[in-house]
Amino acid sequence: MTPEKITSILGDEAQDLLTYRCTKVPKERLHLPSADFLDRHFVFSNRTPQTLRSLSQLYNHGRLAGTGYVSILPIDQGIEHSGGASFAANPMYFDPENIVKLAIEGGCNGVATTFGGLALMSRKYAHKIPFIVKINHNELLTYPNSYEQILFGTVRDAWDLGAVAVGATIYFGSADARRQITEIAAAFEEAHALGMATILWCYLRNDAFKTGGKDYHVAADLTGQANHLGVTIQADIIKQKLPENNGGYKALNIGNSSYGKLDERMYTDLATDHPIDLCRYQVLNCYSGRIGLINSGGASAGAGDLKEAVKTAVINKRAGGMGLISGRKAFQRPFEDGVSLLHTIQDVYLSNDIDVA
């Protein structure tokens, strides 16, 4: 895709997103994605040679192979959001083989989905595209609905079916967060011992984070701290929602409340309200980029999906992130359109005209 086409897709936001320069946290302070990222940041770590090989398989597959960037197809919404709600728009994805086929045709570095789906496809596809097993999920069948991530299988199961990585979600900030943190920390330790990479969905979940007419589940300061906890339990890649605002700590400390810790310089010296700066604060909290940040593509909204996908990719790349993990925008549309959307996202990372801000 040409730079002119990307500019056209971004429309009136193009100039701001493509020319902005970060001055609060300059790019020179970060460790940026590159062809030798694995050698520079993991080769002297405690990751085993088998884990390094698994990371290498992930980094060196698909259209972004050898760039240091990744494009991952995640489809676990059948459990997270119910199969009918997720796949009614495109019932072919009730069949897990079509999930794998979309990731392959879409040029992705890997496919992240459920135990059951990947287990059925293991012997046919595990050697053709890196498998990432999502080992825990929230489920919306318990009445009334609750929001707890629970394990759906073992790390050893994931290893046996040929996965190169396991993925997990922690709902940071939730009443159940401490159980999830200790559970997934142990799972990641086992995954590394078996030679697999680890990817953490660092999501926030607490009704109190919606206050004053704003949703601070997407605040840079709170999501940044979730990232910092994620890299502490040795996630090799962090998945996070793109930040949309800031000041979550401040909003939750109004009146006589006491929540967390903050320093005003978080807001004055390390970020602005610009979306690239907000995302850069997330990267900063991933050990200054030593652990790659991938942002999620978000829900499908129909006609505006292409622009939103390109916008998210541009913000992530220019902030110093490692890539995009986009599912619903791809699978909730006809197969060929989903492939095209994934390729368009990847074109942002392949473009030499879109640099780090």
Closest CA to 309 of 276, 351, 347, 353: 347
d(CA 69, CA 348): 10
Structure-block tokens of residue 107: 């040029």
d(CA 231, CA 352): 29
Is residue 318 a contact partner of residue 17, using CB atoms and an 8 Å limit?
A: yes
Is residue 347 a contact partner of residue 76, using CB atoms and an 8 Å limit?
A: no
The answer for 72, left when phi > 0, alpha when psi is -120 to 50, beta otherwise, is beta
Catalytic residue check, 239: yes
Closest CA to 75 of 326, 334, 345: 326
Rg (CA), the chain: 19
Give the containing element (helix H, strand E) for 17.
helix 14-19
Is residue 246 a contact partner of residue 253, using CB atoms and an 8 Å limit?
A: no
- Active-site residue identified among 101, 239, 241, 329: 239
DSSP state, residue 219: B
Buried b or exposed e, range 59-95, using 16+ CB within 10 angstroms: bebbbbeebbbbbbbbbbbbbbbeeeebbeebeebee
Give the type of residue at 32. Answer: L
d(CA 69, CA 293): 10
Active site residues: 239
